[in-house]
Amino acid sequence: MTREATLLQQLAERPDDRALRLVFSDWLQELGDERGEVIALWARGNLSLTERRRVARITTTQAGRWLGPLAPLTDLHRTRFVGGFVEELACAPGRSPEAFGALTGEPRLATVRSLTVPPTQTPAQLGGFLSSPVLRWLQRLELGSSDWQDLQLSKNSTLSPPRVVVGSWGVFHKELSPLSRVRLFQQATELGLSTTEFINPLMVLEIHQAVLQQHRALQGFEELTLAARYGVVEGSAQWLLACDLEGRATGTSFPRLRRWGVESSEVLFVRSREADGPFCHLTVDLSAPEAGEKRAASSKPNAEQRIAVAAAVLVQLGPARLTSVVVKLPEGGRLRSHERHTLFAAARRSGSLEQFSVVGEAAVLP
């Protein structure tokens, strides 16, 4: 076994071991491999703007090579690297069953925390691949609805991600109820609904009604998030307000639900509540990976566009009567004065705001 294979196998057993990652980093740097520098910088933390740009540049140019045998299986545009290791892996459509089978147990999969498999892959092609112990640290698994329903894992499988995501081409009219019999679905506490539909307000209301009609399948979930590749500000705001409609989504339909979110344009909004109170807290997550960490299309919104989207959604959440708004930034990120003012002004439109804070900055009202 080569030195690289030995280190990768050790990392597969302890993927979060910082010391082991640094050993791997030192070995790579001895070979003149820039990946070693990326691993070392990320392990150190608190990167300067220049260092973050260098990490992004190296990652952009080297990502395909770092994937190794995973490369033919991967959709690079939707795959994210953190600190030199793949963390969010999106599989490309149209891959053969043999492609998945050949990568069962591949040690590079151990650092993957989010795995997206296109619904074109049949359940029979996924069982062995997903049953491998190397995926036991997976936190998020996205499959098409038919894949979830018919997925068969081995008896010794340790796969149990807390977040499961159901992919759909439509509005989830019938996709959820059959999943109540799927073990992985039953064990999870966070549910994502991933749709290719354009989430305008009318479409959001239709999705919301479909979810309510299938509420018996969702009794164990504490978080429900709608994710769409295509959307408008009005659709995002409509979904965030949907949890208040007639009080049904906060009552007996979903007794354990504590968080209700929407992800669009790479901005994540999450409304949350305490006990059985109202959903009066909002988190605006702007920390989606920057260019270089996630290989995405050129239309990917930049930081200024994300802030504009966040402000536009906040303006429409007046009826939510929010008491607190928390903005999360990327590591080392900063809001300029006018950006902070824009978000605060939009947040206070609810008339109930008591706290506005930015993670890493003073949490006080201006």
- Is pLDDT of 291 > 50? no
| Cα–Cα nearest to 36, from 84, 86, 108 | 84
DSSP state at residue 184: H
Fold of 265-366: Transcription Regulator spoIIAA (3.30.750)
Letter for the amino acid at 134? Answer: V
| Cα–Cα nearest to 74, from 84, 63, 61, 60 | 63
Looking at every residue in the chain, the average pLDDT score rounds to 87
Letter for the amino acid at 295? Answer: R
The answer to whether 309 touches 315, Cβ cutoff 8 Å, is no
Tokens in use for 163? 């977040």
- Is pLDDT of 292 > 70? no
Helix (DSSP H) and strand (DSSP E) numbers for the chain: 12, 12
Of 8-17, 43-52, 206-215, 255-264, which gets the smallest average pLDDT? Answer: 43-52
What are the residue boundaries of the structural domains of the chain, listed by start? 186-259, 265-366
- Is pLDDT of 232 > 90? no
The predicted structure's pLDDT at residue 288: 66
Indicate yes or no: pTM above 0.95: no
